[in-house]
Chains A and B, each alone.
Chain A
Amino acid sequence: MTPQANEAFVERIREALRLVIDPELGYNIVDLGLVYDIEVEDGGVVRVAMTTTTRGCPATGYLKDGARDAAWSVPTVEFVDIALTYDPPWTPDMMTEDAKRHLGIM
C-alpha cells in the first residue's frame, strides 16, 4: 500500500470511529482525542490505541467494543485490535477545537 493509500485508509477508519460517542460528553471519540493511534498492516489488519476520559468507567468495555465494530465496518478490514491505554492519561486539552467549542470546554 502506498503511503497515500495508507493515509486514505486510516482516514476512512477514523471517520467510521466517529460513530462511537463518549456517552457522558456526547461527542465522538475521535474529536474528543480518545483515539491515540490507528495503524494499518497488510491483510486488512487494523490496530487502534485508545483511552477513556476516566479510568474504571463502566462504559469502557462498550467503548472498546464499539470502536472495534465501527472499524470493522470499513470495507477490506479483516481484523481489528483495540488496545486500551492510559499512558498518557486523557485530558480535555486533547480535544479538537470544534469539540471544545461544542462542549463549552474552558
Chain B
Amino acid sequence: MVGVALSRWTMSYFAAAVMALIAAEAVMLAGIGYPQAPIAAPESLLLVHLVAIGWLSLLMCGALFQFVPVLVVRPLHSDTLPLPTLGLLVAGLAALLLGFAQLGGIVQTPFAFLPAAAILLGAGFTLVLWNLGRTLWAARPLPLPARFVVGGLCSLAATVLFGVIFALVLGGVATVPHLVDVATFGLPIHVIAGLGGWLTFTAIGVSYRLLAMFMLAPELEGRTTRGALYLGAAALAAVIVGGAAAICLAGNVMTAVAIGGLLGVACLVLYGRDIVHLYRARKRRVVELNSRMAAVALANLAATVALGIVLMAAGRFTDHVGVVVFLVGFAWLTGFGLAKLYKIVAFLTWLECYGPVLGKTATPRVQDLVTESRAQKWFVLYFVAVWIAAAALLLAQPWLFRSAAGAMLFATVSIGVELMRTRRLANVAPNLRLPKGVRPPHLLHSSVQLG
C-alpha cells in the first residue's frame, strides 16, 4: 500500500456541513435561540445541534474518511458505508431539530421525533465509529496523530450515548430513574465530550499532521506531543468516566469536570508549545492562507481558554458559559474547519481532476485552484464578526450579536462561493483548466477520472 484512495463521499459531507453552518448563522441572524432565549431553551438546543452535528460533526466525519487513511497509510475499511452513514446522520439531525421544535411548541404533531432522532443518529454515528475504528485497528501500532483521533472517537461514542439517553428521556420513552439522572446531571459531560473530546481532540490530532504536511515542518513525536496526548486523554477520561461514575454514585459531576478542566488546560499548553514550534520550524517561508487562518483559529482557542480561566477566577463562568461555548464553536472549531476546508477542497479536487493526467501533460498546482487574495477578506470578515459577536454576548447586546451573526453569514456564504469556484476549476488559467482527458468534477462527490 503506497498511497490511499480518494474518499468518494467526502465532498457530500462538506456540502451538507457548509449548508448547516449557513442555516445556523441565518437562525442566529433571525434572533432565534441563544442569546434571545435561555441557553437551555428548545430553540437554543436546535441551534447548538445544527452547529455541532450539522456543521462540525459532518465536516469532521467527511475529513476523517479521507484523512484517517492518510494518517495510518492504510485504506478506509469501507468506501461504501459513508453514503448510507451520511443519510442516517442527516435524517437523524432533521428529526432532532424537529424534536426540539416540538418541545418549543413550534411544531405540533404527535410524532415521536426525539426517539426517532436517537435511533437514526445512534445508527449513523455507530457506522462512523465502526468504519474509522476498523481502519485504525488494522493499522496498529498507531502514529501519534492517529492516537488523538482514537481519543476523539471514544469521546464521540460517549457524546452519542449521552445524547441518545437525553433524547429518549426528553421524548418520554425512557423513564428508568438512572437514565433520568443521566439526563438531569449529564449535560456537562455531553458538551465537554462533544466539543472538547470529539471535535477539539480530533482536530488537534489532525492538525499535527496537516500543518506539518502543508508547511513542510518536522512531524512532532516528542515529549510535549506525547504529554498533550496523555493529559488530554486523562482529561477526557476524568470528565466522561469520572462524571458518569459521579452520576451513578450520586456524587458531584462538577468535581470530575474541574479535574478534567485542569488536565485539559495542561494538555492545551503543551499543544500550544508544539504548534508554535511547528510554525517556527517550518521550511516554507510563505505560509498559505489556510495555515494563516488556522493560526488565527488556534490563537482564538488560546484566548478562549484564557477567558474561561478569567471567568472562573471571577466566579462568573456560569453566567457566561454561553460565550465560552460560542467561542469554542465559532472562533476555534469553525475558524479552523473553514481554513482547512479551503485547502482540502482544492487538494481533493486537484487529485480527482489532474492526478490521472500527471506525467502525460502539463498540470496546474493545487494553489492554482484557489484565489487567496479574494478569499482572505472573507476569512478576515468572519473572524472579526465572531469577535464582535462574542463581545456582544459578554456585554449582553443582542442587537449587536445579530448584526455580527449577519456578517458571519455573509462571510461564510462568500467562502462557500470560493469553495464552489475551486470545485468548478474556475480559478485555473484557461490553458491549463481542462487538458485532454480531464472533465470538470461533480460538485458533491468525487470519482476517479481516467487519464
Binding site for B on A (CB under 8 A): 19-21, 23-26, 52-70, 73, 84, 92, 103-106
Contact = CB atoms under 8 A, between A and B. Distances in A.
A65 B451 CA distance: 10
B216 interface: yes
Contact of B73 (A19, A55, A104): A55
29 contacts: A20-B359, A23-B347, A23-B350, A23-B351, A23-B358, A23-B365, A24-B214, A26-B366, A52-B3, A53-B216, A56-B69, A56-B71, A56-B72, A57-B213, A58-B347, A58-B348, A59-B355, A60-B3, A62-B3, A62-B355, A64-B3, A65-B356, A66-B358, A66-B359, A68-B359, A69-B358, A69-B360, A70-B359, A106-B283
A55 B196 CA distance: 29
A64 B2 CA distance: 9
Contacts of A52: 3
B59 to A, nearest CB: 18
Which of B69, B72, B354: most chain A Cβ within 10 A?
B354
A21 B365 contact: yes
Interface of B: 2-6, 66, 69-73, 213-214, 216, 282-286, 347-348, 350-351, 354-356, 358-363, 365-368, 451
Contact of B4 (A58, A65, A84, A92): A58
A24 B347 contact: yes
Given A19-B362, A103-B284, A61 B3 contact: yes
Contact of A105 (B283, B348, B362, B363): B283
Contacts of B350: 23
Contacts of A66: 355, 358-360
Contacts of B69: 56, 58
Contacts of A60: 2-4
A23 B351 CA distance: 8
B351 A62 contact: yes
Contacts of A26: 365-368
Given A58-B66, A58-B348, A60-B4, 6 more contacts: A23-B358, A23-B366, A53-B213, A53-B216, A56-B73, A68-B359
B139 to A, nearest CB: 10
A56 B74 CA distance: 8
Nearest to A24: B366
B211 to A, nearest CB: 12
A104 B284 contact: yes
Which of B6, B66, B356, B363: most chain A Cβ within 10 A?
B363
Nearest to B5: A58
A68 B451 CA distance: 13
Contacts of A62: 3, 351, 355-356, 358
A92 B354 CA distance: 24
A63 B284 CA distance: 21
Contacts of A57: 3, 70, 213
B69 to A, nearest CB: 7
A92 B283 contact: yes
A102 to B, nearest CB: 11
A67 B360 CA distance: 9
